[in-house]
Structure 1
Amino acid sequence: MLPFSSYPVRPGSFAAELGSTVVVAPHPDDEALGCGGLLALLRQAQQPVAAVLVSDGTMSHPASERFLAPARRAVREAEFRQALGSLGIMTEPLLLGLPDSLVPGSDAEPGFAEAVAQLRDFLTRHRAATVLVPWRRDPHPDHRATSQLVQAALAAQPEPPSCLEYIVWAWERAAPDDLPTPEDGVRGFRLDIGPVVPQKQRAIAAHRSQVAPGIFTDDPSGFLLSPEMLAHFAAPYEVYFEALES
């Protein structure tokens, strides 16, 4: 059984403490699913928020012939912008455009160093005090690689921003080894997002290509968010991990 329901709850006012925030999403929709409530609360608290989209999002429906890869990328980037707008985020996002399902997770992989440099510059320009990033072992390879990209971007900073790690696929696919251990040096909490759940739902719905009936309908084997998966993100709280105080 997942331990998330036993985590302590923090009020939505916690968002006001985070300062300028950058959310890093592996795919278009992760920002809405994993932390859409917190993003809405940040903007309500008039905190600056900027966003990074890591992958091009094209592999959700790779067999579509009506929408070839460049068209799928354009649709998903437009959905990403619409979702951000519904959460009150109007800052132009950084689109890294890395290959969906093949996001590099180490310096030995092509594109890793360039992405790290872009991330570092973006975080510096936005004076990020907090970064929202997928949980380091969220069970999707692109999510884990995104965590590695962010950690590399923060490594060289003399005063790196704080990290809050959010979950997406851990709700459905977490194995025991995917969950935090004492060696991770983190603690989990639930954030009360009750008042902004409708706003979060609008952000999720903006990703029309990922919610039934979808847009790329000529690829019936493509990915759509299941009702069971979506139910996790209709709850009045979101789960985060933060570093323990040293």
Structure 2
Amino acid sequence: MSQDGPPRPAWTSADPGAAPAGQWREWLDSVELPSALDGDSEQVLVVSAHPDDEVLGAGGFLHDAVAQGIGVTVLCLSDGAASHPGSPTVTPEALAGIRRAELTTALSALGVNRTIHHELPDGGLDRHGDAIAEAIDTAVAAYGGHSLIVSVWRADRHPDHEAVGHAASAVASRLGIALLEYPVWMWHWARPGDEAVPWARARRHRLSPAAVEAKKRAVHAFVSQITDLSDDPADRAVLEPHVLDRLTGPTETFFS
């Protein structure tokens, strides 16, 4: 979940349009949504823009899919190097290596051991649409083929997320395979029932108790994102506690 491109927004529950985690959970509990994990797919490809999107948006889904014997492959498109622009502590090149290692640790906590890394530029994925589509196409065919793509949402209001989501949608449509999309940034700009969100296409995954704990361990693997790198303002944590609170509840939401 890199804060790149435009200046970082201040992620606080007082921001216009932002609702606190408790309000989101109360509202989500009040609506009926079909299940996202139906068990029909033997192989699932999970696609992310940055190292941590897939864990934040779908970590419980990944864990429970693996627990049900479903093959899960994660495709991460960017190197994650732009999460701390101007950092005096770590170079973008070093940060890319750190985030790749963090992702490996996080996915291991979820039981996922098939990861395909691409190192397209963090913050510039919207300029690499063809390369993203080609990478997704190739990944779909890996490990004997995948019958479901689970991608970051194409309307998440982050240019990298949207570039990946649109490419995943195009590949799924062309290949005739199912697609689910998970939001990450939406929880920080939308409000419950927001008309900008396609709730009619929403599906829910209720995390098993084991998935809740595994997702917590996975999220805490992203040390570079959840803790300050130094006292310098450019090194502050990207994923502050109130941000994580919205992303680590007992359910995950997807759009079909």
Normalising by structure 2, we get a TM-score of 0.80
Question: Does residue 234 of the first structure (1) align with residue 248 of the second (2)?
Answer: yes
TM-superposed deviation, 1:84? 0.8
In the alignment, which residue of structure 2 is the partner of 1:98?
Answer: 120
Does the C-alpha gap of structure 1 residues 15 and 86 become closer, same or farther in structure 2, counting only changes over 3 Å?
farther
1:37-76 Cα deviation digits (max 9, x unpaired): 0000011011110011112111111212332111000000
Question: Does residue 208 of the first structure (1) align with residue 223 of the second (2)?
Answer: yes
Does the C-alpha gap of structure 1 residues 228 and 90 become closer, same or farther in structure 2, counting only changes over 3 Å?
same
Does the C-alpha gap of structure 1 residues 177 and 58 become closer, same or farther in structure 2, counting only changes over 3 Å?
farther
In the alignment, which residue of structure 2 is the partner of 1:8?
Answer: 32
TM-superposed deviation, 1:177? 5.8
Q: For 1:158-237, list aligned pairs within 5 A.
A: 160-174=176-190, 176=194, 178-180=196-198, 187-195=201-209, 196-212=211-227, 214=228, 216-217=229-230, 219-222=232-235, 223-237=237-251
Q: Distance in 2 between matches of 1:201 and 1:15?
A: 23
Question: Does residue 115 of the first structure (1) align with residue 115 of the second (2)?
Answer: no
Asked whether the 8 Å contact 2:33–2:202 carries over to 1, the reply is no
1:131-159 Cα deviation digits (max 9, x unpaired): 111222112221111111212333432xx
Asked whether the 8 Å contact 2:148–2:179 carries over to 1, the reply is yes
Asked whether the 8 Å contact 2:225–2:239 carries over to 1, the reply is yes
Asked whether the 8 Å contact 1:4–1:239 carries over to 2, the reply is no
Report the 3-state secondary structure (helix = DSSP H, G, I; strand = E; otherwise coil) of the residue aligned with 1:67. Answer: coil
Report the 3-state secondary structure (helix = DSSP H, G, I; strand = E; otherwise coil) of the residue aligned with 1:132. Answer: strand
Question: Does residue 132 of the first structure (1) align with residue 150 of the second (2)?
Answer: yes
Gaps of 5+ in 2: 1-18
Aligned residues, how many?
227
Report which stretch shifted further, 195-204 or 142-151.
Answer: 142-151
In the alignment, which residue of structure 1 is the partner of 2:71?
Answer: 48
Quick one: which amino acid aligns to residue 108 of structure 2? G
Q: Distance in 2 between matches of 1:46 and 1:194?
A: 15
Does the C-alpha gap of structure 1 residues 240 and 7 become closer, same or farther in structure 2, counting only changes over 3 Å?
farther
Q: Distance in 1 between matches of 2:39 and 2:224?
A: 32
Quick one: which amino acid aligns to residue 118 of structure 2? L
Report which stretch shifted further, 202-211 or 218-227.
Answer: 218-227
Percent identity between matched residues is 30
TM-superposed deviation, 1:19? 2.2
Gaps of 5+ in 1: none
Q: RMSD of aligned C-alpha atoms?
A: 2.3
